[in-house]
Amino acid sequence: MTEKEIEKIYIKPTLKLGYGYYLIQKSLIEAVKDLKSKINGNVLDIGCGVMPYKKFLLESGRIKNYIGVDLEHSEYHNKVKPDLFWNGFTIPLDDNTQDWIIATEFLEHYYDTNHILSEILRVLKPGGKLFFSVPFIYTLHEIPHDHHRFTPFSLKNHFNKSGFSNHQIYPRGGFNYSLLIMMSLWAKNAGSSGLIRYLVKFFMFCFHKQLIKKDQKYATYELDYTSFENGTMPSGLWGYATK
């Protein structure tokens, strides 16, 4: 996968990706921009795939070493080869060696959340941080390795149980993001090929800007909004956890 292709999909997403995937990537890059303002030292990208944010984060000038780790048999390796392979159980690094660990769209694919968080905690230096993102509204993907759709409260319990000292959890979009993502996924994967599908696409074309604008209260970059109340529907979650 070329750097130009990575930039078009992950760093500067456009509506050419489709409304749903555009909003997913838009909310994620906003979160990664916040990470970029903080990241430093030794960085491990776990479940790294094509390491889409590596070059972007290195621009901060504060990263000493960036390592990507992934399973040996991964669909991404014909595009980008990771720096390290792992067995899916033990991270092949010594204790207390990493300042940051990045887990973008990874935790939902790991079957034993408490185990992998304990491994992440082992490898982090004291005071080191985990940056994470997970979907809440999305299709089954990378089956059979699609195990969880976390709520803010389940993540909180996992972080506390694993021994992290504190954490912050933020939403990636609210009802409007979720609506557009679902409509886009429906039109692509399950919708009829007739008039209804056309009308759904026409609705998204006409109203996506207004829906996105009105969803700002729940958008990624509203970092002061952390209340998850009954009836709210984040399209995804992201945040930090500190050792």
DSSP letters for the chain: --HHHHIIIIIS--GGG-HHHHHHHHHHHHHHHHHHTT--EEEEEET-TT-TTHHHHHTTS-EEEEEEEEESS-TTTTT---SEEE-SSS-SS-TT-EEEEEEET-GGG-S-HHHHHHHHHHHEEEEEEEEEEEESS----STTS------HHHHHHHHHHHT-SEEEEEES--HHHHHHHHHHHHHHHT--SSHHHHHHHHHHHHHHHHHHHHTGGGSTT-TT-----TT---SEEEEEEE-
* pTM exceeds 0.85: yes
Length of the chain: 243
For residues 169-183, average pLDDT? 90
Residue 190 has pLDDT above 80, yes or no: no
Confidence of residue 220 (pLDDT cuts 50, 70, 90): low
**Mean pLDDT on 133-149:** 93
Q: Which amino acid is at 204?
A: M
Distances (CA, A) of 164 to 112, 118, 130, 160: 16, 9, 10, 6
For residue 104, what are the domain limits? 3-242
What pLDDT score was predicted for residue 225?
Answer: 58
User: Does residue 226 have a pLDDT over 80?
Assistant: no
CATH number at residue 202: 3.40.50.150
Select from 184, 231, 185 the least CA-distant residue to 208: 184
Q: Is the backbone peptide bond immediately before 144 cis, with ω within 30 degrees of 0?
A: yes
Average pLDDT estimate for 94-115: 98
pLDDT surpassing 90 at residue 31: yes
Tokens of 165: 């000292």
The total of structural domains in the chain comes to 1
Asked whether 137 and 235 are in contact (CB, 8 A), the reply is: yes
pLDDT at residue 80, rounded to an integer? 83
Token pair, residue 65, equals 């070493």
